[in-house]
């Protein structure tokens, strides 16, 4: 972020007591994980991510959609958290009770040291049986997309391939990615915890989200309506601009470390 960080933003974070951080695909962009806006490539180039991320697409062509999630899982496994993820973990370490809420299905917050981010839209690492979520479903890394296919086919080409989903070991039904598809309800406990945290916070940081997918996009508005200050970090304007006290136009990996440094420049000692 070229121009100086607005003092107001550093002041708001420095004085905050109950912080919520809401992240979207933009926080993982600088780790090499494509956002939902980025055009799909390879096998999936002719699809819109919002079409593929549906139960209808999975049932119409399970191998195509499972292949897409395996391809994304491989990309995430090869990625590393970036300074944006690390700055958020630093805020959590500094302000006890900070709540991290993410729309992302990657595990980069956890790998950056965030103890328990709330995943509103599930995870790439929690497959489940289509018929019964209670049935244990595991993806053993043996069939990791990196490894050569059992039929000796070369490891997953850069732009992915169709992969047949595993079968549930309890009932033989298809195993599906443990994510929330469009048209599906969010996990109740996660969404309730997110709404409660937003309603009780005094500062919400909205990082790398386009603010168009609901009900996640409602979270910053709930915080603003409850009297909290909202700071947005995004190189582009979004529909959230108008509920924000400060809009920081820059990328997460650049802006967040400088925001954290500026907020606690005065007294670097962690708060007990
Ligand atoms: C539901 C998991 C009940 C799967 C995902 C109200 C109004 C309109 C529509 C609806 C509504 N309520 C419900 C809907 C329907 C729908 C919806 O919101 N549609 C939108 C598209 C209009 N919502 C649902 O279906 C939800 N379920 O509501 O159930 C119901 C059902 C039917 C009808 C009524 C009620 C379920 C939504 C969850 C879907 N699953 N992900 C998977 O990942 O495969 S959503 C997925 O897309 C992501 O998780 C994320 O949430 C979203 C993408 O948004 P972002 O994360 O913000 O990313 P995006 O790429 O869009 O933008 C990136 C941003 O980062 C940009 O602003 C960019 O400028 C910025 N950026 C880029 N680089 C950087 C950066 N910022 C900082 N640093 C950088 N370096």
Looking at the DSSP bridge assignments, the partners of residue 179 are 122
pLDDT tens track for 239-271: 999 999 999 999 999 999 999 999 987 665 555
User: How far is the C-alpha of 127 from the C-alpha of 141, rounded, in Å?
Assistant: 13
Tokens 């080409």 correspond to 157
Give 103 Cα–ligand 1 centroid separation in angstroms.
7
The per-residue b/e assignment along 1-25, b for 16 or more CB within 10 angstroms, e otherwise, is beeebbeebbebbbebebbbbbbbb
User: How far is the C-alpha of 169 from the C-alpha of 249, rounded, in Å?
Assistant: 49
Element at 118 (helix H, strand E): strand 118-119
Give 154 Cα–ligand 1 centroid separation in angstroms.
34
pLDDT tens track for 168-216: 999 999 999 999 999 999 999 999 999 999 999 999 999 999 999 999 9
Highest mean pLDDT among 14-23, 45-54, 262-271: 14-23
Give 97 Cα–ligand 1 centroid separation in angstroms.
26
User: Ligand 1, atom 58: nearest CA belongs to which residue?
Assistant: 25
Atom of ligand 1 nearest to the CA of 209: 57
- Residue-averaged pLDDT of the chain: 89
106 lines ligand 1 (CB under 6 A): no
């Amino acid at each position: 972020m070229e121009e100086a960080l607005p003092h107001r933003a550093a002041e708001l974070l420095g004085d905050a007591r109950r912080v919520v951080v809401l992240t979207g695909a933009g926080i993982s962009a600088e780790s090499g994980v494509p956002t939902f806006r980025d055009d799909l490539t390879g096998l999936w180039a002719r699809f819109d991510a919002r079409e593929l991320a549906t139960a209808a697409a999975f049932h119409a062509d399970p191998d195509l959609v499972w292949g897409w999630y395996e391809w994304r899982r491989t990309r995430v496994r090869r990625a590393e958290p970036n300074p944006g993820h690390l700055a958020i973990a630093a805020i959590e370490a500094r302000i006890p009770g900070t709540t991290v809420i993410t729309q992302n299905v990657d595990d980069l917050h956890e790998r950056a040291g965030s103890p328990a981010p709330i995943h509103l839209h599930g995870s790439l690492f929690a497959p489940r049986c289509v018929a019964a979520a209670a049935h244990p479903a595991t993806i053993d890394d043996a069939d990791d997309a990196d490894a050569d296919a059992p039929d000796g086919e070369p490891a997953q080409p850069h732009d992915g391939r169709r992969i047949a989903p595993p079968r549930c070991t309890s009932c033989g039904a298809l195993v599906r990615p443990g994510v929330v598809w469009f048209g599906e309800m969010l996990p109740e406990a996660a969404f309730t915890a997110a709404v409660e945290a937003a309603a009780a916070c005094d500062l919400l940081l909205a990082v790398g989200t386009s603010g168009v997918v609901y009900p996640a996009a409602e979270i910053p508005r709930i915080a603003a309506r409850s009297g909290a200050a909202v700071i947005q970090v995004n190189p582009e304007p979004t529909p959230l601009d108008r509920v924000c006290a400060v809009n920081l136009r820059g990328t997460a990996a650049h802006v967040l470390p400088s925001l954290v440094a500026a907020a606690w420049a005065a007294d670097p000692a962690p708060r007990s």
